[in-house]
Amino acid sequence: MREVAEYFIENRDLTKEEFRELIGCAEDPETVRELANEAVRIRKQYYGDGVYTRGLIEFTNYCRNDCYYCGIRRGNLRARRYRLTKEEILECCAGGYELGFRTFVLQGGEDRWFTDERTADIIRAIRSGYPDCAITLSMGERSYECYRMWKEAGADRYLLRHETADEAHYGMLHPSEMSLAVRKMCLYDLKLLGYQVGAGFMVGSPGQTADCMAEDLVFLKELQPHMVGIGPFIPHHDTAFAKEPAGSVELTLFLLSVIRILLPKVLLPATTALGTLDQKGREKGLAAGANVLMPNLSPLKNRKQYELYDNKICTGEEAAEGLKSLKKRVEQAGFRLVTGRGDAV
Ligand code: SAH
């Protein structure tokens, strides 16, 4: 194993330069194995063999943003848009609760039809209907006041990937009206308000270098999020990045191990994007240190429309109805699905 990896395992911390060197070890099989072993050991120490599940409700694909990588960006005039009604969202929750889910994740594009108040009303309805469940939001950037209103309405967690912590790289992925500084400020606001916060980034997005990823790790160390979502970039045919290569599954797995060691108690999903590029991607994610799965609870009729990237899996075992076979797969991989809110320890 490379020296920098040994040092990392011992100290669980590195400088940016050292992180860059560590990322350079992603091609060294022995280092990859040792980091995965250490990541699994740490995950076991805090979470045993338990894997948490979250029911993902993709409730709107309208979006005011124009992120270059994303299939539902506003500039994609070919996307067929939909938004769920409050009743439909509550039906998703009911179905999910029946299946055993105790966390609901409301994710969508930045759709201002869902005003601060309208969204708060939906959160209150879920909160009163499901007092034993956690409510996670993933709705992009809003004001401090809005985040506060939603917290008071009953939201517990918020997922807002920072996408890349490198200023120049952020500018390659987003139009100039968006900024890394605002994204980061939202994350700090959410933390201040007492949310369990999730940051994260895509692996292999166009223009990303080892230096960018080192900066991502430095930022995660500084932010100390409760959750980190990372997955490979996958091109979408109606975006400017249609012809770009997808990110690497192996590098994603390597970074999952690194993040588990860096933030031992973090909630770390094996993501849909990982499962999309590799049939066994999510099992491999668990074996690399992940401990969360997020099956899809969205209404079947809308699932294909929430197309962030090409070939996004949405009707197989990753879907909520496939929970039984998912349970089997997880057990075959040596883990066990746990019901419950699944808060960070
Ligand atoms: N509007 C919300 C939710 C965005 S979708 C927000 O701003 O947070 C959730 C995540 O999907 C994004 O944060 C991004 O990291 C990921 N994503 C989007 N397009 C992708 C692509 N082409 N390949 C892989 N992941 C993608």
Dist CA 200 CA 217 (whole Å): 10
Ligand 1 shell residues, CB under 6 Å:
69-70, 107, 109-110, 138-140, 160-161, 163, 202, 231, 233-234, 236, 273, 308-309
pLDDT in tens, the chain (345 residues): 889 999 999 999 999 999 999 999 999 999 999 999 999 999 999 999 999 999 999 999 999 999 999 999 999 999 999 999 999 999 999 999 999 999 999 999 999 999 999 999 999 999 999 999 999 999 999 999 999 999 999 999 999 999 999 999 999 999 999 999 999 999 999 999 999 999 999 999 999 999 999 999 999 999 999 999 999 999 999 999 999 999 999 999 999 999 999 999 999 999 999 999 999 999 999 999 999 999 999 999 999 999 999 999 986 666 777 888 889 999 999 999 998 999 988
Residue 69 Cα to ligand 1 midpoint, Å, equals 8
Burial of 247 (0-12, 13-18, 19+ CB in 10 A): buried
Strands (E), 48-185: 50-53, 55-60, 103-108, 134-138, 157-159
Query: In angstroms, rounded to a whole number, what is the distance separating the alpha carbons of residues 24 and 33?
Result: 14
Ligand 1 centroid–CA 9 distance in Å is 30
